[in-house]
Structure 1
């Protein structure tokens, strides 16, 4: 990972600021919501207590039958088409039955649907009617009640059989319609309006299941009360919707409407609120206002005596509704649940404003910090890149140091920061290493000069010993000493020759030369020396001109050929080639032979380095100065000398890349 990428990663850490702000705003919204919940719960509790101490007709404890308001006129035909809008809120009757109750100005309607695939049929007047499938209807009017037997042997009209004597103004005769199919039967009937029923008992008997044929479940009748709704509207606060429900969830009274005040938030604020800020909201469908029954967890919790609050989606866009459900108690018994709902945009707007302000501020700070860090990283990377380039330029390919580069001004050496200290340290290091390298390069000439005098003393001493009478045992030692002195003299002369060659290479005069002629002439001269070895010469078709010293180039090729010939087998091959390159020319001499050791490839062109076998006693030593001369010639022509193993592993290739010697300017 680059330095800029690392600093950019550090800049991304500033994103912790908007994240912390987001968490803070969410916490603030939670606190505001909690305050609203407490306030609405206190209001709902006060209203519930007021209802409990007034004379309003609250439902009695226990369960009851709910009577819905007829949505449309009901025709007594035994079919449930007229009951379709009210069917979702049908009430269970026994194991296999459902009951629907409704009323309007024309009467009180009862619809009974019983699922009984196996039927036992009989009319109500038959002696065995109680042992067949039938319905028991018990009408309760205060302290009086009267039971009726409803049964039919076939679809059509039926007349209920009274089971009890006359009681009050309860009807003596009830008629209705009976319909059945393969799944069971349905009974529909209408009672006269104004009976003032306080309770209703209904029971369905199926001969297959058995049981008490006269059993009927008597429950109080619950219905929507306009008087209770008026009292509720008087107690409930404005801009709220209040609903009083029975413990089972049936709506007994309702007042008020949800009104949302405040400005309409924009779409961007709405998206931010819903995706980043809003805590989970309940769906609004379960709280629809026209449902006669609300089967909600909040009501189930409130009827156990525990007040509950819930946030849900509002009916208007981007609004929220807070609902509080509190129990209504009489004599420490829960007789109902009060739902108080309040719509609002205040919390979303407040949170949006705070969050948007924090978001914009933190985002701006993040951008500025990121831009500053990116600029700093870019500048730091550029400075380090300049320092790296200077270090790379100071080192030549063969490992030596460029003296001119070191003596010139090192980049950023005058800076006062840590990079300036590093640049000055590099400059001092390169100056020390360069001085030591120059010392090593001139060591050969110094040694050759210093060794001449003691070598002459040793040689003259050996000459004097030859004239002295020596024993036969001493003669071999004298011969060995003379051989060592001769070899040492050869070494000193070679070192002197290398020093003179360096001076000669530096003093060589350049001229415009065609390298094709130079390389061709060298190849023609090498063929007789190659013997049985094959020598191929690959030259370009066009002349290749270069400003340089042809005698130095030829001398370098002589050294390369001598080196290649010594490592090429007697039946091997050599290949001398010349090709143009972008900034000059490249001469390559490849030969068959063993590959170069990896550890020696960077040292082949140094002085006194050789891969040839050590000389045997009496032979002249090989000093490894040939490739060193090749490197000097290449550098004199602004190029480099290199060696590599061939890709197929068959041999080695030495190359000279030449750019040309600088042209001298004539004095005007």
Structure 2
């Protein structure tokens, strides 16, 4: 990974600032919410105690029939069309029926829907009416209770027949409508409000299932109370909606309306609302569950309050960007919960403050992030450029043979005057290259210096040996046993002379390789010419030459390549048996060409394969007296030729173990720029 990318990653660490700010704003918003929730709970508890003290809420039993409010008169025809808006809040009637009760200023309407696919029919006046499918309707007022039988053998109008003695204030006959289909039957009727009913009982008898024919589920009636609503209006704070609910969640009274319209601060935009709901607000309840006009609320908070535990919840408001805080507390009398008080307060302060704080923080953080990122990017770019200058200077300073460029003739290196760490690094590079340069020059000229310095001592030793031999022979005083020692001394001097000449030749060869001029040639002709020249030199050995069908053009120095092949052949002949074989091949590569000379012979030692092309390294046997010494310079010259052509020299054992192969991979020499 580049330095600029690393510093950009460091710049991204500044993202921790907006994240920390977001956590802080979220915590602040949570504290604001908790403060508002505690304040609303305190108000709700105070209003609940006031309702108990004033007696505005009458005692409520554990089970009741709730009478929903009807804005329009209901047509009594036995069909449920007029009851459709009230159907979601139907009340269970036995195991296979449901009951709907509604009222207006004059009438109490009843609608019973019974699921019964196997019918036993009889009219209410029939003797066996109680044995057929029927409803038992029980009405109760301050004077008592009276039951009525509702049954019909066919759809249409009917009259409910009384089963009990007369009771003051309760009717003798009750008109009703009976409708049925394959799924069951429906009964619809209405009763005058003037009856002042306190209790209502409804029972379903299924002739197929059996049971108590006269049973009815009798419960007190509950409905919306204008008196209770008036009491609430005097107790509830401004801009707060209050609802009194029965323990089962039925609405008994209500005061005020929620105002979630935009205030003086305006309405937040869709983006601000999205940011608030996504990043800040905790989970909000759906507004549909808390609709203002529903007759019953069955949320978890209401159930908790009905169990005696206060609860608060934040929910979405009806308008965009608004939230509503709801607090539900139990209304207790003598340790018994008679109802639930629900206070709801709209809030735009919390989301507006949180949005403004978060958006301001985000804008500031991203501005700081952009500035910090820009500064770090500029710094990384400048640092990368300075390091690139050091890298380029270091790469240009040294050639492959260890010689240094003339860049240091004047003792200059880039950025050595800089006062920072890059300047220290540049000065260290400069000192390092000065030391390496002087040492490289010393090593490069060591051979020529040694050859020059050793020539005179060798000449003295050789002349001294000659003079000694002539003097002893002239006087006939040369002992026979001294002649081998004299021969060995002459042989040592000859070997030292050959060594000095080879060292001098190596220095000249390096300079000649460096000064060679390239040209465009076809390597096939170069290799073919070398192969033809080698055949008379290899004796009884066999030489195979494998060339490609097409030309291989390369910008190179052909005399250097021929010289390298001469060295490889000389090395191969030293290890190939007299009846062995050699193979010279040429092949094209994607970026140049490869020349390989394989020969039969012993494999290369694994420890020496990486050192064969170094100077003064040889695998040949030590020379016997009188033989010319092997200095290990041949393969070193091969390596220099390969490197001069931008390539590499390598050696390997053949896969079948029959011999070794030396290869030259050449890329060509650079063309001079005009």
TM-score (norm 2): 0.82
SS of the residue corresponding to residue 249 of structure 2 reads coil
In the alignment, is residue 414 of structure 1 matched against residue 417 of structure 2?
yes
1:101 paired residue number: 101
SS of the residue corresponding to residue 35 of structure 1 reads helix
2:404 paired residue number: 402
User: Residue 296 of structure 1: which of 294, 299, 306 is its match?
Assistant: 299
* Matched-pair contact (CA < 8 Å) for 2:552–2:593: no
SS of the residue corresponding to residue 413 of structure 1 reads coil
Measure, in 2, the Cα distance between the counterparts of 1:611 and 1:228. 116
Offset at residue 324 of structure 1 (A): 1.3
1:44 paired residue number: 44
Alignment of 1:487-526 (within 5 A): 487-496=492-501, 498-499=503-504, 502=507
1:198 paired residue number: 198
- The 3 A distance-change label for structure 1 pair 292 and 551 is closer
Measure, in 2, the Cα distance between the counterparts of 1:545 and 1:351. 74
User: Residue 652 of structure 1: which of 643, 657, 662 is its match?
Assistant: 662
Measure, in 2, the Cα distance between the counterparts of 1:633 and 1:100. 107
Measure, in 2, the Cα distance between the counterparts of 1:43 and 1:339. 11
- The 3 A distance-change label for structure 1 pair 597 and 118 is same
Q: Could you report, residue by residue, the CA deviation over 1:506-558 in whole angstroms, capped at 9, with x for unpaired residues? A: 69998999786996998886665466646689999999999x9x999987776
User: Residue 582 of structure 2: which of 572, 579, 584 is its match?
Assistant: 572
In the alignment, is residue 353 of structure 1 matched against residue 363 of structure 2?
no
In the alignment, is residue 592 of structure 1 matched against residue 598 of structure 2?
yes
User: Residue 316 of structure 2: which of 313, 316, 320 is its match?
Assistant: 313
1:67 paired residue number: 67
Measure, in 2, the Cα distance between the counterparts of 1:86 and 1:513. 102
2:632 paired residue number: 624
User: Residue 333 of structure 2: which of 317, 330, 334 is its match?
Assistant: 330
* Matched-pair contact (CA < 8 Å) for 2:40–2:327: yes
* Matched-pair contact (CA < 8 Å) for 1:523–1:576: no
- The 3 A distance-change label for structure 1 pair 369 and 468 is farther
Measure, in 1, the Cα distance between the counterparts of 2:668 and 2:82. 107
Measure, in 2, the Cα distance between the counterparts of 1:69 and 1:535. 112
User: Residue 378 of structure 1: which of 373, 377, 381 is its match?
Assistant: 381
> Which range moves more in the overlay, 43-52 or 111-120?
111-120
Measure, in 1, the Cα distance between the counterparts of 2:405 and 2:489. 38
Offset at residue 84 of structure 1 (A): 2.1
1:88 paired residue number: 88
In the comparison of the two structures, how many residue pairs are matched? 650
Measure, in 1, the Cα distance between the counterparts of 2:80 and 2:624. 125
Offset at residue 313 of structure 1 (A): 0.8
Offset at residue 264 of structure 1 (A): 1.0
- The 3 A distance-change label for structure 1 pair 397 and 503 is closer
1:615 paired residue number: 623
Q: Could you report, residue by residue, the CA deviation over 1:476-516 in whole angstroms, capped at 9, with x for unpaired residues? A: xx526624641442333442354267469869998999786
* Matched-pair contact (CA < 8 Å) for 1:137–1:216: yes
1:111 paired residue number: 111
Measure, in 2, the Cα distance between the counterparts of 1:484 and 1:28. 102
* Matched-pair contact (CA < 8 Å) for 2:91–2:99: yes
Q: Could you report, residue by residue, the CA deviation over 1:386-409 in whole angstroms, capped at 9, with x for unpaired residues? A: 3333333444335x3426455552
- The 3 A distance-change label for structure 1 pair 560 and 186 is closer
Measure, in 1, the Cα distance between the counterparts of 2:68 and 2:552. 111
Alignment of 1:33-182 (within 5 A): 33-56=33-56, 58-182=58-182
1:666 paired residue number: none
* Matched-pair contact (CA < 8 Å) for 2:110–2:188: yes
Offset at residue 318 of structure 1 (A): 1.2
- The 3 A distance-change label for structure 1 pair 126 and 268 is closer
SS of the residue corresponding to residue 351 of structure 2 reads helix
Q: Unmatched 5+ residue regions in structure 2?
A: none
Q: Could you report, residue by residue, the CA deviation over 1:269-315 in whole angstroms, capped at 9, with x for unpaired residues? A: 22211211111100011111221111111111111222211111110
Measure, in 2, the Cα distance between the counterparts of 1:269 and 1:177. 56
Measure, in 2, the Cα distance between the counterparts of 1:442 and 1:81. 116
2:2 paired residue number: 2
Measure, in 2, the Cα distance between the counterparts of 1:157 and 1:284. 43
1:241 paired residue number: 241
Offset at residue 227 of structure 1 (A): 2.6
Offset at residue 559 of structure 1 (A): 5.2
Offset at residue 592 of structure 1 (A): 3.2
Q: Could you report, residue by residue, the CA deviation over 1:192-235 in whole angstroms, capped at 9, with x for unpaired residues? A: 34111122122223344444333322211111122322332232
* Matched-pair contact (CA < 8 Å) for 1:18–1:359: yes
2:273 paired residue number: 270
> Which range moves more in the overlay, 405-414 or 506-515?
506-515
SS of the residue corresponding to residue 220 of structure 2 reads strand
Measure, in 2, the Cα distance between the counterparts of 1:176 and 1:75. 11
SS of the residue corresponding to residue 140 of structure 1 reads strand
* Matched-pair contact (CA < 8 Å) for 2:596–2:662: yes
* Matched-pair contact (CA < 8 Å) for 2:585–2:596: yes
**C-alpha RMSD of matched pairs (Å):** 4.3
* Matched-pair contact (CA < 8 Å) for 2:124–2:152: yes
Offset at residue 655 of structure 1 (A): 7.2
- The 3 A distance-change label for structure 1 pair 46 and 556 is closer
1:287 paired residue number: 290
TM-score (norm 1): 0.83
Measure, in 2, the Cα distance between the counterparts of 1:108 and 1:256. 27
- The 3 A distance-change label for structure 1 pair 59 and 655 is closer
* Matched-pair contact (CA < 8 Å) for 2:330–2:340: yes
SS of the residue corresponding to residue 233 of structure 1 reads helix
* Matched-pair contact (CA < 8 Å) for 1:72–1:82: no
